Amino acid sequence: MESLRIVLMGKDFELRFVSLVVRARELGDDVLLLDLGSTDQTLDLAKKVDCRVLRYDGEILVPALSDALIADGPEQHTLLINITGNFKLRDMPLLVNRARENWDVHMSFSSEESDNSNPQEVVYEDAEVSHLAASINGLKALSNSKISETPLELDQELRVRVLHSKPAPKIQQRESLATASKFAQLFYWMLESKHPLLLFGIPGIVLFFVGYKLSGNVLDTFNEWNQTSVGVGLAVIAVTLMGLFAMMVGLILYIMGKQVKQIQSQYQHWPKDN
Domain membership flag for residue 172: no
What pLDDT shows up at residue 252? 76
Q: Are residues 56 and 16 in the same domain?
A: yes
Confidence of residue 241 (pLDDT cuts 50, 70, 90): confident
Domain membership flag for residue 171: no
- Among residues 114, 144, 165, the one where a domain terminates is 165
Q: Are residues 97 and 16 in the same domain?
A: yes
- Among residues 139, 165, 191, the one where a domain terminates is 165
Q: Are residues 238 and 126 in the same domain?
A: no
Q: Are residues 192 and 116 in the same domain?
A: no
Q: Are residues 49 and 143 in the same domain?
A: yes
Which pTM value belongs to this model? Answer: 0.60
- Poorest-pLDDT segment among 1-10, 155-164, 225-234: 225-234
Q: Are residues 32 and 138 in the same domain?
A: yes
Q: Are residues 104 and 211 in the same domain?
A: no
Domain count, the chain: 2
pLDDT exceeds cutoff 60 at 1: no
Confidence of residue 178 (pLDDT cuts 50, 70, 90): very low
Q: Are residues 83 and 54 in the same domain?
A: yes
Q: How far apart are CA 106 and CA 132, in angstroms?
A: 6
Assign 3-class secondary structure to the chain. Answer: CCCEEEEEEECCCHHHHHHHHHHHHHHCCEEEEEECCCCCCHHHHHHHCCCEEEECCCCCCHHHHHHHHHHHCCCCEEEEEECCCCCCHHHHHHHHHHHCCCCCEEEEEECCCCCCCCHHHCCHHHCEEEEEEECHHHHHHHHCCCCCCCHHHCCCCCCEEEEEECCCCCCCCCCCHHHHCHHHHHHHHHHHHCCHHHHHHHHHHHHHHHHHHHHHHCHHHCCCCCHHHHHHHHHHHHHHHHHHHHHHHHHHHHHHHHHHHHHHHHHHHCCCCC
Give the CATH number for residue 42: 3.90.550
- Poorest-pLDDT segment among 35-39, 46-50, 69-73, 167-171: 167-171
**Could you tell me the residue range of the domain that residue 85 belongs to?**
4-165
Average pLDDT of the residues in 92-101 = 89
Q: Are residues 199 and 65 in the same domain?
A: no
What pLDDT shows up at residue 204? 75
Domain membership flag for residue 170: no
pLDDT exceeds cutoff 80 at 95: yes
What pLDDT shows up at residue 45? 93
What pLDDT shows up at residue 203? 75
Q: Please indicate whether residue 42 or residue 265 has the higher confidence score (pLDDT).
A: 42
Q: Are residues 251 and 181 in the same domain?
A: yes
